[in-house]
Chains A and B, each alone.
Chain A
Amino acid sequence: MRSFQSMLNYFPEEVLEHVFDFLTSHRDRNAVSLVCKSWYTVERFSREKVFIGNCYAISPERLISRFPRVRSLTLKGKPHFADFNLVPHDWGGYVQPWIESMAKGGVNLEELRLKRMLVSDESLELLANFFPNFKSLVLVSCEGFTTDGLAAIASNCRFLRELDLQEIEVEDRRGQWLSCFPDSCTSLVSLNFACLKGEVNLASLERLVARCRNLRSLRVNHAVPIDALQRILMQAPQLVDLGTGSFGQDPDSDSYNKLETAMQQCTSITSLSGFLEVVTARCLPAVYPICRHLTSLNLSYAAGIYSDELVKLIRHCNKLERLLVLDTIGDKGLGVVASTCKELQELRVFPSDIHGGNAAVTEEGLVAISAGCPKLNSILYFCQQMTNAALIMVAKNCPNFIRFRLATLNPTIPDAVTMQPLDEGFGAIVKSCKGLKRLSVSGLLTDQLFLYIGIYAEQLEMLSIAFAGDSDKGMFYVLNGCKKLKKLEIRDSPFGDVALLEDMGKYETMRSLWMSSCEVTLGACKTLAQKMPRLNVEIINDSDQMEASDDDKQRVEKMYLYRTLVGPRKDAPDFVWTL
């Protein structure tokens, strides 16, 4: 035993490092670094990709000091409910201090992926000018920059491979940012500017595509019309992922034929999105030839494609693994998906009309999908109504769900047939899907459901609750039962101080807890903050609903708490109180 032990001690570090190279997941690397001091040391010098799920859990200085060789950084800022306008724009999540520190610290940054962060033009300029090997920028749901910042990236990042913007409002400064890519730039592999509202220089775009022979993924915005798209496709038949832009003109037969020809050349496309402004469906058949190779199809911004055209298109897509659509597809359309897309793994059905209206899908569509698509493991489903019977059937058909998110358009609607709460239906889901990691529930729900979740959802990491539950027991069941819970977000539910304070240590095992419009009081939040120094307990007081007077009994409208190693943040705006 002793000699084996000593053998391990003389294991050369290079060998360890080589072994660690095979560990790609940050969770594995985190685990490995806990084994012993020497493994910790080898791991930290060899880690190149760092994932930080909450930018306020740690500081840039500590990141650089522990992982000096970091080349790729992923950062997430605002809490998830910021997506739904529950968090003011200037709450925080600035990337600037991270970029400044890395620039000062001589980090050789090559890749930056940000979600829900505030990014300024200044940050982008710093990024472009201080990191000569910078290759990849992915921004999701970020804000704060303009096309000037993009111009800086385009102009200065000589080896840029990836520029990917998703679901961002970018202020258009009309500076022709796309034209800023120099003629010497030939390294682009992925370019996604589908969300931009402004114009781009079409000639520049065509030239850029022509010289980037390694371009695999191109998603253009609404300002790129069909004839320009056709010319681009002729230059890039090697594309694997295409975002079509507007696809909105009504072309003459000559343009249409050219488009058809161009599409037929693109035999490698497996992922398709766009159709941002389809007005008439006449051009859609041009896309049919590539449909049979598609594994991913995103029509969730294609408000102009009506149900029957949608269905016609989908009938050609029998290899689909991932489908995003609007609820205009209807239950019948989902039936077609169920009979056509046998390889389907992920489905997202978004509402087309915020007030519900005449479209919308029901429990029937969901049941049909579950019956027809046995490989389904991830769903986001906005629906008019739901029943327990349907959810029980879905649970039986698809025990492999990893992500299950349901949102009824009326958030407290009961079972449409029995008028009972939807506890049993969701209960069946958590009981059957032993690998469930993410769950969002909706509809009329009582504490009973949370009891089921606490007992059965052993792998659950993220739970979203809205307008649900009866009492503190509900929240307690979840916190007590779900051992792997990382993120809990709750709005408009009657959970209060007793549940919040029952097991304060639990929050150090989680990334964060969000509670808004619940029954939690200021006093309880203060108690929690005082007892748990390694948590930041923040109150967002954005509409002046709370008096500065220390009335501990007043209800807190929005509370966000998260574990952190660096204490209260210094950039909190006036309306955020860190207790």
Chain B
Amino acid sequence: MAIVGLGLETELRLGLPGGGGGVSCLVEKNEKKRVFSDISGDQNNEPKTVNKSQVVGWPPVCSYRRKNSFKGDEGSKMYMKVSMDGAPFLRKIDLSTHKNYLDLVLALDNLFGCFGIGEALKNSENSDYVLIYEDKDGDWMLAGDVPWEMFSESCKRLRIKKRVDAKGIGLHAKDLLKGISNGE
């Protein structure tokens, strides 16, 4: 059966389009399509099992169910440690109770307020602090780059660093605030 449209003629048959089979065909496809592995930051184009926890919204389970019916570390609470340069002890914060970066920053302000972090984060240019987090891969990332949902799914711990210690890396608290002002 021929399908005419977009100037294409195709026919129904079993097997992969383009003939041939096996790995070479799959690799060819992977070059054309935006593979799952690309999203998870894998530079290799080989098809393989990938780190599924890095993609927002997969498996497609609604967020209520995500928080309430899973065993293990996904649980209903997402407590993680927050450390702050200069503070004598760490705190813990439950990420699942916050909806966006603004919410989080306000909560951190409450936790560490006496050290002036809230004030600092509001005055972007004069900010003495940056907020960074450790993700599932163990890398330290600047908070605010990715959508809130992606952040909360991959964040393992938080750290409020003094800006002076982070100099030269091009970190700008205004990036975090841009995320906040977009109502994330």
Contacts and interface: CB of A to CB of B under 8 A. Distances in A.
B52 A492 contact: no
A90 B72 contact: no
B6 A413 contact: no
Interface stretch (B11-19, B106-114, B115-123, B160-168): B11-19
B27 interface: no
A249 interface: no
Given A355-B53, A421-B16, A446-B17, A84 B62 contact: yes
From B65, B70, B145, B179, name the one whose CB has the most chain A CB atoms within 10 angstroms. B70
Given A168-B64, A451-B12, A412 B47 contact: yes
A349 B170 CA distance: 47
Interface in A66-94: 81, 83-86, 88-90
Q: Which of A85, A454, A476 has the most CB of B within 10 A?
A: A85
Interface string B1-42: 101011010101010110001000010010011111001000
B147 A414 contact: no
Contacts of A351: 59, 61, 70
A470 B52 contact: no
Contact of B1 (A354, A356, A455): A455
Given A409-B59, A451-B3, A141 B149 contact: no
Contacts of B49: 410, 413
A491 B16 CA distance: 22
B182 interface: yes
A414 B148 CA distance: 31
A466 B39 CA distance: 13
B91 interface: no
A575 interface: yes
B12 to A, nearest CB: 7
Contacts of A357: 72
A405 to B, nearest CB: 9
B138 interface: no
Interface string B40-73: 0000000101101101111111111111111110
A493 B52 contact: no
A551 interface: no
B153 to A, nearest CB: 8
A527 B179 CA distance: 29
Contacts of A451: 3, 10, 12
A544 B178 contact: yes
B74 interface: yes
Interface string A444-472: 10111001101100000000101101111
A407 interface: yes
Contact of B184 (A355, A411, A466, A542): A542
Interface in A206-243: none
Contact of A356 (B3, B6, B52): B52
B179 A303 contact: no
Contacts of B65: 167, 300-301, 350
Contact of B60 (A83, A90, A168, A414): A83
Q: Is the interface of A mostly helix, strand, loop or mixed?
A: loop
Given A411-B52, A413-B49, A480-B5, A354 B62 contact: no
B178 to A, nearest CB: 6
Interface residues of A, number: 73
A477 interface: yes
A353 B74 CA distance: 8
Contact of B53 (A89, A326, A354, A517): A354
Nearest to B178: A544
Majority-rule SS of B interface residues: loop
B8 A492 contact: no
Contacts of B72: 353-355, 357
A98 B151 CA distance: 34
Contact of A477 (B3, B55, B62, B69): B3
A321 to B, nearest CB: 22
B30 to A, nearest CB: 9
B62 A410 contact: no
B183 A90 contact: yes
B52 A350 contact: no
Given A84-B61, A421-B16, A472 B6 contact: yes
Given A411-B58, A471-B32, A543 B179 contact: yes
A518 B34 CA distance: 8
Interface in A410-438: 410-414, 419-421, 423-424
Interface in A456-510: 464, 466-467, 469-473, 476-477, 480, 491-494, 498, 502
B52 A352 contact: no
Contacts of A517: 34, 39
Contact of A448 (B17, B56, B182): B17
Nearest to B60: A84
A521 B134 CA distance: 33
B70 to A, nearest CB: 6
A12 interface: no
B85 to A, nearest CB: 27
Nearest to A276: B68
Given A382-B59, A543-B147, A352 B69 contact: yes
Nearest to A304: B71
A343 interface: no
A22 to B, nearest CB: 36
A528 B123 CA distance: 41
Contacts of A352: 69-71
10 contacts: A83-B60, A88-B147, A88-B183, A169-B67, A352-B71, A410-B50, A411-B58, A419-B26, A420-B16, A447-B17
Interface of A: 81, 83-86, 88-90, 141, 167-169, 195, 300-301, 303, 326, 350-357, 382, 407, 409-414, 419-421, 423-424, 440, 444, 446-448, 451-452, 454-455, 464, 466-467, 469-473, 476-477, 480, 491-494, 498, 502, 517-519, 542-544, 573-575
Given A476-B6, A574-B183, 14 more contacts: A81-B57, A84-B58, A167-B64, A195-B68, A354-B59, A354-B70, A419-B26, A467-B36, A470-B29, A472-B6, A473-B6, A492-B39, A494-B32, A543-B179
